[in-house]
Structure 1
């Protein structure tokens, strides 16, 4: 019974880690996209003026 219990615990940990990494990764991408968009918008705005 013990090995199965540890395997279950390990799987739960892996799933939680995977979800956390996904959340961090997507938030990081959003931050980068926002910065790039702001830079592009500033450039376009300057061109328009």
Structure 2
């Protein structure tokens, strides 16, 4: 079985490292967090529910 030259191991390492970095960058920059559209309505709902009627 032929052995692999060190330059081939280095090129494989660089190739897989580049693919790994690109994959992680794509996952990081594609993600879009969803923000609540109306914060004032949510705040108003919580304040209305806190009214005590003694």
- TM superposition score category, shorter chain reference: 0.5 to 0.7
Q: Which is helix-richer, 1 or 2?
A: 1
Q: Are residues 1:27 and 2:23 paired?
A: no
Unmatched runs of 5 consecutive residues or more in structure 1? none
* Shift >4 Å, 4+ stretches: none
Which structure: larger Rg?
Answer: 2
Q: Distance in 2 between matches of 1:17 and 1:3?
A: 21
TM-score (norm. length: structure 2): 0.58
Secondary structure at 1:24's aligned position in 2?
helix
Task: Give deviations 1:7-49, integer Å, cap 9, x for gaps.
Answer: 0011000000000000011122x2x1xx12xx0x2225x4xxx
Query: Structure 2 unaligned runs (5+)?
Result: 42-54
Alignment root-mean-square deviation, CA: 1.7
May I ask how many residue pairs the two structures share in their alignment? Answer: 38
